[in-house]
Amino acid sequence: MQSAPATPPTSESLLALFALPFADLMFRAQEVHRRHFDPNAIQRSTLLSIKTGGCSEDCGYCSQSARRDSSTGIERGKLLDLDEVKVAAKAAKDKGATRFCMGAAWRGPKDGDLDRVIEMVRTVKDLGMETCLTLGLLGAGQAEKLAAAGLDYYNHNLDTGAEFYDRIITSHSQQARMETLLRVRQAGMKICCGGIVGMGESRGVRASLLAQLASMNPPPESVPINHLVAIPGTPLENVPPLDPFEFVRTIAVARVAMPASYIRLSAGRQGMSDELQALCFLAGANSIFYGDKLLTSGNPEAARDEALFARLGLSGC
């Protein structure tokens, strides 16, 4: 397990990185990346929605909130059967994914549902894949049950900087998310925790988010950086897209701030050109979500990713 830096970066120090000339920041990120990782290896994960829609929360970016079912067109689904999950996990492995992530649209899991999800974890582990879950807020004893089942990672994003959080979500606090992450750490599991950029936040908020992540002890082993997918019917549907170079800068600053973490290109990749993705890899991104869909939003098809990897001389890991 990685350790926290002796002196975690501050928002101010990360803002100074953001402000560097683009080439200087990229060079700095590449130096850090090459000290800790194979620069030409990309870890591939697949994400499956095991329970879609009907979530009680009001996250402004999300189409799965029960508060906006009618405006986003998302149909509420039941928890998938074990056989459906096994088929999807095997297909993901056959396409080169090494980690299988499962997400459920809940505020947090009920114990009965958690027992069914634990069977899914064991089934995926039996296929020889790493496992990750995102189920929302965890209650007392639930993280320990997941750890005992062999879960490798638990995903729970901070989403955005603390000072911007209540402009995006009001149904629960960022502190509640931190409490779930603490439970996950205390149970001995690894953390997958990042955020979403392009929600109308300032560069200062992006720096604040990355500083929060980097100051965790230890920092998250996996850090997904999502670009907002402005879904019609959500409160953020009309937010202008983030400047592509600013997105690359965010990846680069995340790499410098968290040298030993996997930095993952997550939601929003479908709208990125091959050239933009290549810049993100150059900036230190070394993980992607792989497959046709991320929960309810599209994702580049596996064949397109394979072609891009071949053009860039990248391999899976």
Q: Which domains does the chain have, with CATH numbers?
A: 11-309 (3.20.20.70)
Backbone angles phi, psi at 294, to 5 degrees: -115, 105
Residue with structure tokens 């009309």?
Answer: 238
pLDDT of residue 294: 46
pLDDT of residue 297: 47
Round to whole Å and give the CA distance between 311 and 144.
Answer: 43
pLDDT of residue 70: 59
Give which of 124, 140, 135, 145 is closest to 188, Cα–Cα: 145
pLDDT of residue 5: 55
Torsion of CA 157, 160, 164, 165, to 10 degrees: -10
The set of catalytic residues is: 55, 59, 62, 101, 132, 192, 264
pLDDT of residue 270: 85
Digit-by-digit pLDDT tens for the chain (317 residues) are: 455 556 889 999 999 999 999 999 999 999 999 999 999 999 988 999 999 887 888 888 988 877 766 566 667 778 999 999 999 999 989 888 889 999 998 889 998 999 999 999 999 999 999 999 999 999 999 999 999 999 999 999 999 999 999 999 999 999 999 999 999 999 999 999 999 999 999 999 999 999 999 999 999 999 999 999 998 989 999 999 999 999 999 999 999 999 999 999 998 888 899 999 999 999 999 999 876 544 444 455 778 888 999 999 999 87
Backbone dihedral region for residue 181 (phi beyond 0: left; psi -120 to 50: alpha; all else: beta): alpha
- The answer to whether 250 touches 272, Cβ cutoff 8 Å, is no
CA distances from 202 to 92, 131, 209, 213, 296 (A): 36, 34, 11, 17, 26
From the number of C-beta atoms within 10 Å of its C-beta (0-12, 13-18, 19+), residue 238 rates as: exposed
Mean pLDDT, the chain, as a whole number?
91
- The answer to whether 141 touches 187, Cβ cutoff 8 Å, is no
pLDDT of residue 289: 83
Tokens at residue 212, please?
A: 């929060």
The model carries a pTM of 0.91
Give which of 49, 271, 292, 35 is closest to 155, Cα–Cα: 49
Please tell me whether the peptide bond between 232 and the residue prior to it is cis, using omega within 30 degrees of 0: no
77-109 confidence digits (pLDDT tens): 789 999 999 999 999 898 888 899 999 988 899
Round to whole Å and give the CA distance between 5 and 127.
Answer: 35
Residue type, 293: K
Round to whole Å and give the CA distance between 112 and 132.
Answer: 19
